[in-house]
């Protein structure tokens, strides 16, 4: 449709296999350029284009679009840019930065609203715009991978001097994490999920408006107030988008759609994980930072009008399989458990898989029992009582044992040798 309306020169940014470039050429475009940064995908695109007998009709470039210049790489400005450089959070593959550069240096100027103006004199982008939607959810699978849910794990007491967090979302101490969100195919997530709010529109973006694109990364965050419609534990905000390819055709990545797309998941970390109920209000700050869509902070306003605010970037079901004992030891070794009075609060990052392992109470009880048996055997073989094992009932140390330990002036940690 775009070619038939007058777009004769086309640039395919992040071409992948080259399929969009080939569609453009078959539609009748006179000049087709395709750029691909990945060497592997560039070589595949060249092979695919050659196999379809279009090697002399499509110019495939092994480079980033941000490095392209006229007339070095393109003979002149193109009339159409097509791109699928989007991830589950829409902006994560750099579509905003790529299109800002394209509008400045590679595309004809955007169309102005003048009746009868020739289309071929102006540039356009496919997709034309996008709308981002989101919903707050309760989901045990997300919770157990991003929040340590127990204060006692395998006999080890996790005291209040340490805050645990996953690498997804902003850290509790205010330092940005490597990734603001993870991804899940919510329609297939184990255990399912429960929406706690209605679906809400978080942001719109017009890819054919250069000024809007440039202002996106500097735009101040804004707040959305969302009524809670169902009681449950606030575990995450889940986001998806609808791409409007043109005035008639759109593509949705929503959880109810039967597509290959996953949704962006912003876990709620320890501070705001709480039970919410109808009458409460969830307040979300939305922004675009470092080319990522960010749900930057959350507040829960209770039905009694008591506000609980914590800066937090969103961010029990048992495991079916037991993880390796070595992996559990690594996770436990990451935890700070010293009970020294006046000790400053520390923050400890655990990988999502480690958090899930620590939340696996069945495995941890087995590990505790195995460790207790091993220590008992060691004590019997050495003929000494220098090691105090955990009791055979797989529970906490009883008061008699604790009193005897105090008299020996041993550390107060509950897991010790």
Residues 25, 139: contact at Cβ < 8 Å? no
Query: Per-residue pLDDT for 52 more than 80?
Result: yes
Domains 2-126 and 130-308+344-363 share a fold: no
Query: Per-residue pLDDT for 104 more than 80?
Result: yes
Burial (CB count <10 Å: 0-12, 13-18, 19+), residue 276: buried
Predicted TM-score (pTM) of the model is 0.76
Q: How far apart are CA 345 and CA 160, in angstroms?
A: 8
Query: Per-residue pLDDT for 39 more than 80?
Result: yes
Mean pLDDT of all residues belonging to the chain:
79
Query: Per-residue pLDDT for 114 more than 80?
Result: no
- Cβ atoms within 10 A of the Cβ of 151, count? 10
Q: Which residue has the higher pLDDT, 323 or 130?
A: 130
Model pLDDT for residues 291-330, shown as the tens digit of each residue: 788 886 667 887 665 444 444 434 333 333 444 555 555 5
- Break the chain into its structural domains and give their ranges: 2-126, 130-308+344-363
Residue range 2-126 in CATH 3.40.50.150: yes
Q: How far apart are CA 151 and CA 8, in angstroms?
A: 64
Lowest mean pLDDT among 60-64, 76-80, 372-376: 372-376
Query: Per-residue pLDDT for 268 more than 70?
Result: yes
The arithmetic mean of pLDDT across residues 394-399, rounded, is: 44
Model pLDDT for residues 334-383, shown as the tens digit of each residue: 555 555 555 566 777 788 888 788 888 888 788 888 888 888 888 776 65
Query: Per-residue pLDDT for 260 more than 90?
Result: no
The pLDDT confidence band at residue 48, using thresholds 50, 70 and 90, is: very high
Q: Which residues of 101-133 are buried (b: 16+ CB within 10 A; e: fewer)?
A: bbbeebbbeeeeeeeeeeeeebbbbbbbbbbbb
Residue 391 vs residues 279, 293, 397: alpha-carbon distances, Å: 47, 50, 6
> What's the pLDDT score for residue 208?
95
Tokens for 240?
A: 């998806």
Residues 360, 148: contact at Cβ < 8 Å? no
Domain 130-308+344-363 belongs to what topology?
2.70.160
The arithmetic mean of pLDDT across residues 391-406, rounded, is: 44
Q: How far apart are CA 62 and CA 43, in angstroms?
A: 9
Query: Per-residue pLDDT for 61 more than 50?
Result: yes
DSSP 333-382: HT------TTPPPEEEE--HHHHHHHT-HHHHHHHHHHHHHHHHHHHHHH
Model pLDDT for residues 158-212, shown as the tens digit of each residue: 666 677 777 786 555 555 556 789 999 999 999 999 999 999 999 999 999 999 9
């Amino acid at each position: 449709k775009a070619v038939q309306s007058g777009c004769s020169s086309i640039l395919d940014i992040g071409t992948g296999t080259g399929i969009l470039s080939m569609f453009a050429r078959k539609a009748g475009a006179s000049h087709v350029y395709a750029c691909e940064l990945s060497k592997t995908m560039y070589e595949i695109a060249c092979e695919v284009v050659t196999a379809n007998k279009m090697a002399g009709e499509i110019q495939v470039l092994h480079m980033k679009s941000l490095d392209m210049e006229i007339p070095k790489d393109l003979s002149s400005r193109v009339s159409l840019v097509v791109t699928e450089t989007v991830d589950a959070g829409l902006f994560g593959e750099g579509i905003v930065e790529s299109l800002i550069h394209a509008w400045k240096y590679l595309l004809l100027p955007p169309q102005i609203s003048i009746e009868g103006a020739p289309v071929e004199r102006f540039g356009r982008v496919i997709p034309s715009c996008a709308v981002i939607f989101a919903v707050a959810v309760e989901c045990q699978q997300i919770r157990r991978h991003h929040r340590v849910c127990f204060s006692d794990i395998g006999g080890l007491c996790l005291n209040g001097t340490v805050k645990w967090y996953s690498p997804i979302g902003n850290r509790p101490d205010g330092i940005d994490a490597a990734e603001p969100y993870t991804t899940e195919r919510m329609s297939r997530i184990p255990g399912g999920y429960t929406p706690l709010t209605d679906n809400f529109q978080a942001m719109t973006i017009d890819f054919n408006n250069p000024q809007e694109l440039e202002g996106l990364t500097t735009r101040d965050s804004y707040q959305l107030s969302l009524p809670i419609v169902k009681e449950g534990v606030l575990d995450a905000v889940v986001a998806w988008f609808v791409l409007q390819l043109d005035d008639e055709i759109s593509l949705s990545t929503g959880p109810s759609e039967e597509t290959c797309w996953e949704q962006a998941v912003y876990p709620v970390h320890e501070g705001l994980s709480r039970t919410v109920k109808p009458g409460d209000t969830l307040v979300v700050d939305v922004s675009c930072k470092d080319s990522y869509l960010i749900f930057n902070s959350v507040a829960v306003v209770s039905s009694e009008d008591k506000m609980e605010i914590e800066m937090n970037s969103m961010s029990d079901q048992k495991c079916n399989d037991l993880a390796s004992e070595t992996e559990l030891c690594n996770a436990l070794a990451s935890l700070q458990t010293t009970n020294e009075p006046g000790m400053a609060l520390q923050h400890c990052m655990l990988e999502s898989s480690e958090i899930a392992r620590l939340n696996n109470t069945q495995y941890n009880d087995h590990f505790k029992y195995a460790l207790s048996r091993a220590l008992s055997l060691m004590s019997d073989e050495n003929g000494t009582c220098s090691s105090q094992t955990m009791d055979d009932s797989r529970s906490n140390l009883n008061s008699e044992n604790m009193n005897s330990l105090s008299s020996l002036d041993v550390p107060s940690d509950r897991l010790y040798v």
